[in-house]
Amino acid sequence: MRLSRRAEAVAESATLRLSAAAARLRAGGREVLSLLEGEPDLPVPPAVREATRRALARGDTRYSDAAGLPELRALIARKLRAADGIAVEPEDVLVTNGAKQAVYEALQTVCGPGDEVLIPSPYWVTFPEAARLAGARPVFVPTRAHQLDLDAVARAVTPRTRAIIINSPNNPTGAIYPPAALRALGRLAARRDFVIVSDEAYEAFVYDRAPHASAASFAPQRTITVRTFSKSFSMTGFRVGFLAAPPEIARAARRIHGHVTGNVCTFAQRGAIAALGLGPAELERRRAVFQRRRDLAYALASRRFDCVKPRGGLFVFADARRLLGKRFKDSAALAEHLLEKAGVSVVPGSACGMEGFLRVSFTSPEPVLREAFSRFEAAL
């Protein structure tokens, strides 16, 4: 049976594949500690659960506006204006099934066959595949010490460049892009006529008083902002994310969205409304938990690997190159060894476009982190 070129060209998600491998080991009776996913283990806030329950109880389960509940879009726009300095109206917001769909629809909106999408490396595993699904060619641009190399970005731009995908705080490195870099990128985008897709899924998790800046606050007419409720509020299974974009892009994305999915789960959106009603103390409590875990994971990882302390996000990107060679041919072989011998799952850097590294999540409780790194030591 013949498949489409599109289906054959797209790679399976590395994180989902590794998660399935860990699940198979667990099914066989093995205890596997997962340092794989960027899924916060903290419970969903009670107010979110209660709002969702009430919505179900009153039968709030019907079709709604495909672009998202008007109340939710209004609250998102208000939050972006007040907290992030992004000039956006509710009609410029599109509620999606998580950030992954938002990235997909953003690229479907601005790209076509033969176009190019710049992707700073290392990157989240879905970015290149989202570009390919839009018919575009991903063009990987090296970073410098995990920060944007604007000279390299400028050299990579061609007449076919339609977009660049940036991610700050970054998955997998934890880097935060400073305002000066985002401002300069906005000027380059305007001068060379391309769009910035700014994935800010981890915007709530910045550490050591590091500032978080949004690209859209510097280049509002050139930036599509992508965010999700999954990380900030542990709402991964709710599948509620959004994009906010200039009006012309937002209108076009809504047309695509209406044929792809219709509305996001209505009662899950009611939970998202409740999440935006929580005070800053709840987000600070969550951020503080992961800062402590970041500190621990960085300290433990640094005993065996070379690491740059992440300033945000939920991962340590550990440089394992000194372990590669005779014993492990590459980061995938090392990750497989850790899974099989130590019962600890991590993502090889090759899946993120940077060979020789391991992406290590610190979303697990501190005792699990200590046990996992103890197993690392024993296995290595």
- Tell me the per-residue pLDDT of 129-146, one tens digit each, with 9 for 90 and over: 999 999 999 999 999 999
On the question of pLDDT at 294 being above 80, the answer is yes
Angle between helices 266-276 and 70-84 (to 10 degrees): 30
Residue 380: pLDDT band by 50, 70, 90 thresholds? confident
Q: How far apart are CA 147 and CA 176, in angstroms?
A: 8
pLDDT, residue 76, reads 98
Residue 192: pLDDT band by 50, 70, 90 thresholds? very high
Cis amide bond preceding 169, omega within 30: yes
Domain boundaries along the sequence of the chain: 5-43+281-379, 62-276
Q: Are 312 and 169 within 8 A, CB to CB?
A: yes
Q: Are 197 and 166 within 8 A, CB to CB?
A: yes
Residue 3: pLDDT band by 50, 70, 90 thresholds? confident
Q: How far apart are CA 223 and CA 34, in angstroms?
A: 34
Angle between helices 46-57 and 266-276 (to 10 degrees): 140
H or E element in which residue 252 lies: helix 247-260
Q: How far apart are CA 95 and CA 363, in angstroms?
A: 26
User: Which runs of consecutive H residues, i.e. helices, occur in the chain?
Assistant: 5-9, 14-27, 46-57, 70-84, 98-110, 126-133, 150-156, 179-192, 247-260, 266-276, 280-301, 331-337, 366-379
Architecture of domain 5-43+281-379: Alpha-Beta Complex (3.90)
Q: Are 59 and 289 within 8 A, CB to CB?
A: no
Find, among 33, 81, 15, 44, the residue nearest to 378 by Cα.
Answer: 33
pLDDT, residue 25, reads 65
| Residue 22 Cα to chain centre, angstroms | 21
| Residue 324 Cα to chain centre, angstroms | 28
User: Mean pLDDT of all residues in the chain?
Assistant: 94
Q: Determine the topology of domain 62-276 in CATH.
A: Aspartate Aminotransferase; domain 2 (3.40.640)
Q: Are 185 and 166 within 8 A, CB to CB?
A: yes
First to last CA, the chain: 45
Find, among 141, 129, 309, the residue nearest to 210 by Cα.
Answer: 309
Strand 241-244 relative to strand 223-228, pairing: antiparallel
pTM, 2 dp: 0.94
Residue 340: pLDDT band by 50, 70, 90 thresholds? confident
